[in-house]
Amino acid sequence: MSQLPLEVAEEIAREQQHFAAAPDAFFKAWKRGVQIAGPRWFGDGTQEGFEQARDKWALCPDMPRISKALGVLSAGERMFLAAMVSFYNAHRSAPLLRRCGFEGLSDLSGLDLARRQVIASLVLHYNGW
């Protein structure tokens, strides 16, 4: 049996290492996003619930609450919340994204650096909900 070239084996090892750490990294990015957006939109909606959360399941988006509030949020807040919801449930987030005018990733250009970093980290470490 032949061995893989060293560079291929190293790339496979890097990917395995990345994806092994992805769930924890995703949760850290998710929690940072929840902190930026406001805990009221996630989990039980309380600061205490946010602080006690130990996994992404404890900070699921409150879809009905977010949907009702989209009209009173700033454009950036709407876009960020809708983008975060899209990681939780792509099907249910599609109407929210349309309401925000989201047509593609370039529409995230209106977000500030902190929000862009959260979204980038969520993309990089997403491992399914």
Look up tokens 């949020």; give the residue.
Answer: 73
Compute the distance between CA of residue 105 and CA of residue 67 in angstroms, rounded to an integer: 21
Q: Is the pLDDT of residue 1 over 60?
A: no
Q: Is the pLDDT of residue 2 over 70?
A: no
Domain ranges of the chain: 24-125
8 A C-beta contact, residue 100 and residue 75: yes
Whether the CA torsion 5, 7, 10, 14 is positive or negative: it is negative
> Angle between the 75-88 and 6-37 helix axes, to the nearest 10 degrees?
130
Confidence grade of residue 42 (pLDDT, cut at 50, 70, 90): very high
Q: What is the mean pLDDT of the chain?
A: 92
Q: Is the pLDDT of residue 26 over 70?
A: yes
Global pTM reads: 0.87
pLDDT tens-place string over residues 65-122: 999 988 899 888 999 999 999 999 988 889 888 888 888 888 888 899 999 999 999 9
